[in-house]
Amino acid sequence: MKILEAINISKSFKKPIEFQALKDVSFSIEKGEFVSIMGKSGCGKSTLLYILSTMDTDYEGKLYLDEQLITGQTSNQLARIRNEKIGFVFQFHYLLAEFTVLENVMLPAKKLGIKSLEEIEADAMHKLTLLGIQDQALKISSRISGGQKQRVAIARALINNPSIIMGDEPTGNLDSKNADTVFDIFKELSEEEHLSLLVVTHDQDFAKRTDRIIHMEDGRIKL
């Protein structure tokens, strides 16, 4: 089953001058597939991820998530789809520094507003346990290590049981040991939970160990 499908996605920035950042990008990701995107700085990786994650709606082409057409949905619908179906992990974790680890992980589930606080807290503890940092749950987020913060960010991305995790250089800010840990967690999620992952990386070793590498060049997928 296709979790994500991009069909002929093109994107131009109009300012300061017209510039086509994406040209006819088409690909799909199967359930449980772990895919990396590589390419030189400026080739369009973040621009593409921004569209795939439904944040940017100003593009040509079509995007499907879980076989649902995303293109053309209202911003309210998109916010809901995003919160329900997509987990994000960025280079910098964007945790709320003054909140506890547990509160940070619970946040997207509270926003979704389906489960009770007790259920959400239990789910959050379960995700933290999955990532081996349950002992950090009650610490203030600014008082844990960089590698731990990134694992909290992954736990937070998982809280609503998304269909896909998207990452823009999720290991870019980590030393090789912590980057390996994050890789192993992603691999396990894809193999054991059949979660799909799409991760932009500059790290060759990381990319080589994923199921498939999408190479980009000048706004296109290189075949």
Ligand X SMILES: Nc1ncnc2c1ncn2[C@@H]1O[C@H](COP(=O)(O)OP(=O)(O)OP(=O)(O)O)[C@@H](O)[C@H]1O
Residue 52 CB-half CA count within 13 A:
33
Over the window 105 to 124, marking each residue x when it contacts ligand X by CB under 6 A and - when it does not, the resulting string is --------------------
Strand partners, 38: 215
By beta-carbon proximity to Mg ion, the closer residue of 46 and 73 is: 46
Q: Which stretch binds ligand X (CB under 6 A): 45-53, 83-91, 136-144, 186-194?
A: 45-53
Q: How many residues bind ligand X (CB under 6 A)?
A: 11
204: left (phi over 0), alpha (psi -120 to 50) or beta: alpha
| Residue 87 is a binding residue for ligand X (CB under 6 A) | no
Task: Give the residue, chosen from 2, 30, 31, 46, that forms a contact with Mg ion under the rule CB under 5 A.
Answer: 46
Amino acid at 62: K
Nearest-approach distance from CB 19 to Mg ion, in angstroms: 15
Tokens of 136: 């950090």
| Residue 45 is a binding residue for ligand X (CB under 6 A) | yes
Biggest CA–CA distance in the chain, Å, is 51
Q: Are 181 and 6 in contact (CB under 8 A)?
A: no
Three-class SS string for 72-110? CCCHHHHHHHHHHHEEEEECCCCCCCCCEHHHHHHHHHH
Q: Which stretch binds Mg ion (CB under 5 A): 13-21, 42-50, 53-61, 174-182?
A: 42-50
Q: By the criterion CB under 5 A, which residues form the site for Mg ion?
A: 46
Q: Where do contacts with ligand X occur on this chain (CB under 6 A)?
A: 13, 19, 21, 39, 41-47
